[in-house]
A = this chain, B = another copy of it.
Amino acid sequence: MTRVAVDAMGGDRGPEAVVEGALAARGDGIEPVIFGEADLETHGLELVPTTQIVGMDDKPADALRAKEDSSLVRAVKAVADGEADAVVSPGNTGAMLAAGLVYVRRIHGVRRPAIAVPIPAKNGPSVLVDAGANADCRPEHLLQFATMGAVFAEEILGIARPQVRLLSIGEEAEKGNQLTLDAHALLAASDLDFRGNAEGRDILEGAADVLVTDGFTGNVALKTVEGTIRTVLIGLRSEIEATAGGKLGGLLIRPASRRLRSRLDPDTYGGAYLLGLKGLVVIAHGNSSATAIANAIRLAARGVDHDVVGRLAARLAQPAETV
Enumerate chain A interface residues (CB-CB to B < 8 A): 57, 122, 132, 135-136, 167-169, 172, 176-178, 180, 199-205, 214-217, 219-233, 235-236, 239-240, 242-243, 245-246, 248-257, 259-260, 263-264
Contact yes or no, B199 A223, CB < 8 A:
yes
Q: Contacts A225-B224, A228-B224, A228-B225 hold; do A253 and B246 have CB atoms under 8 A apart? A: yes
Contact yes or no, A232 B227, CB < 8 A:
no
Contact yes or no, B203 A227, CB < 8 A:
yes
Q: A176-B216, A246-B256 are in contact. List 13 more A-B contacts (CB 8 A).
A: A167-B220, A168-B216, A177-B214, A199-B223, A200-B221, A204-B227, A224-B224, A224-B225, A224-B228, A235-B264, A242-B256, A242-B259, A245-B255
Contacts of A226 in B (CB 8 A): 200-201
Q: Contacts A249-B249, A252-B248 hold; do A235 and B169 have CB atoms under 8 A apart? A: no
Q: This chain: how many copies in the complex?
A: 2
Contacts of A202 in B (CB 8 A): 227
Measured between C-beta atoms, what is the minimum distance from A201 to chain B in Å?
Answer: 3
Report the separation of the CA atoms of residues A229 and B146 in the bound assembly, to the nearest whole angstrom.
27
Contact yes or no, B243 A177, CB < 8 A:
no
Contacts of A252 in B (CB 8 A): 245-246, 248-250, 252
Identify the 6 closest CB pairs spanning chains A and B, nearest first: A249-B252, A201-B227, A200-B223, A200-B224, A249-B253, A239-B256
Contacts of A177 in B (CB 8 A): 135-136, 214, 216
Contacts of A260 in B (CB 8 A): 232, 235-236, 239
